[in-house]
Structure 1
Amino acid sequence: MTELTPAQRRDLRARAHHLNPVVTIAGNGLAPNVVAEIERSLQAHELIKIKVQGTEREQRDALMEELCATLDASPVQHIGNILIVWRARREEDKPAAAQEKKPVRAATAKSAAAFAAAARRAALAKASTESRRSPARSPAPRGRGTGSRGR
């Protein structure tokens, strides 16, 4: 569990203010599937709110300590039934085959070809709409006496 300085805690509280709870802990407590969901949320967002239902303050404090110890997270704030937890995003281990990069030239040539094709389609669409218009037509005159009522 990482200790946060008061300034870091204040910043995290401000960032968490607009967040909605992503996980709700009810009567079953910290079931393995709840812990797994909190783990996924921390990996995705780093800062999350957790709603706890049906427990007293001492139980919520113990739940916060257990949760932070289990997930190696830091407690940010505990207000009422809402717990705010932070953990830095962990680096994921990927297989070596997935980390190999393709040549940059192939990717650039492919995107350049796609860009050129899109430009050609846009030019053809513009040319076809211009050929449908009548060339010598001028807009109707504006002013008095052009209405159908004949005022």
Structure 2
Amino acid sequence: MLTGKQKRFLRAKAHHIDPIFQVGKDGVNENMLIQIGEALEKRELIKVNILQNCLDDKETVAQELQDGTASEVVQIIGNIIVLYKPSKDNQQIQLPQ
């Protein structure tokens, strides 16, 4: 579980990152969860864009992504979800205590 201070730190880091995944009308599927999990292992912090034709609401999509990838939702702003998961092999982001 992330503290408020850690979430603020991660939001600041994520500000300049572009979304690398899009969730469309099919919603979240198994293949997408695998790819997002791999991207989180490599980058630790990613953004996911929810397209307008997505049938699920953004909170549901965020929960599915969080549960499916064992990551933390840092922020939901507009139609963008920021996810964080510390890397097992290549940890780059040092969170404040």
TM-score (norm 2): 0.84
For this pair of structures, how many residues does the alignment match?
Answer: 89
Gaps of 5+ in 1: 93-151
Partner of 2:25: 27
Partner of 2:79: 81
Partner of 1:51: 49
C-alpha RMSD of matched pairs (Å): 1.7
Relative contact order: is structure 1 or structure 2 higher (C-alpha 8 Å, sep ≥ 6)?
A: 2
Larger Cα-atom Rg = 1
Maintained 8 Å contact 1:23/1:37: no
Maintained 8 Å contact 1:75/1:84: yes
TM-score (norm 1): 0.55
Q: Following the alignment from structure 1 to structure 2, what is the Cα–Cα distance between the partners of residues 66 and 33?
A: 13
Partner of 1:18: 16
- Greater share of strand residues, 1 or 2? 2
Partner of 2:39: 41
Q: Following the alignment from structure 1 to structure 2, what is the Cα–Cα distance between the partners of residues 33 and 88?
A: 21
Q: Following the alignment from structure 2 to structure 1, what is the Cα–Cα distance between the partners of residues 25 and 88?
A: 30
SS at match of 2:62: helix
Find runs of 4+ consecutive structure 1 residues off by over 4 angstroms: none
Shift of 1:70: 1.4
- Greater share of helix residues, 1 or 2? 1
Q: 1:81 is matched by which residue type in structure 2?
A: N
Gaps of 5+ in 2: 91-97
